Amino acid sequence: MLLLSVLMPSLVLQGVLLLCLLVQLFAVFKIKSRLASVNKMAMQHYDNKLMEKPYTGHCDDLSKIELAMIMKRAELRAVTARAGETSDMIIVAANEEFVNSQQIDLQLHDQDVAIDAMDASAEQMLSSINEVVQQAKHSSEFRC
């Protein structure tokens, strides 16, 4: 009985340690498989072993992921810069079109004023012609 009471805590302790070891092995296996899948994804986007050491300072599984992230960040900066340049060009073009539309509006207004003036002149000439016709009619009736 004494032997059993001495061995029992030791067996329980060994069981707990074995359980902890199994949990740790399972966690390491899950992390390793997850790391492998993330590493594979990183290699699909950017795989250049020569660039790992200069850019990350390391050459291991994590450096592939880090290099892919660095390159994706650089790509994103380049795309953002191009988008900024494009939007700046669009703003300049929009401002130019606005100025052009204002100039066209002014020209149309000037043309409208000129057409109104021509209309008034034509009406005055028509009125004058009608007066001349009326006077000619009166003159011709007066002579007869």
The C-alpha atoms of residue 130 and residue 123 are separated, in whole angstroms, by 10
Residue 13, domain member (yes or no): no
By mean pLDDT, which of 3-7, 9-13, 116-120 is the weakest?
Answer: 3-7
**Is this structure's pTM higher than 0.75?**
no
Per-residue pLDDT band at 143 (split at 50, 70, 90): low
Q: For residue range 63-120, what is the model confidence (pLDDT) as tens digits? A: 889 999 999 999 999 999 999 999 999 999 999 999 999 999 999 999 999 999 999 9
Residue 7, domain member (yes or no): no
Residue 5, domain member (yes or no): no
Location of structure tokens 């997850």: 34
Give the total number of structural domains in the chain.
Answer: 1
- Domain span at residue 129? 21-143
What's 96's DSSP letter? H
Tokens of 53: 């050491």
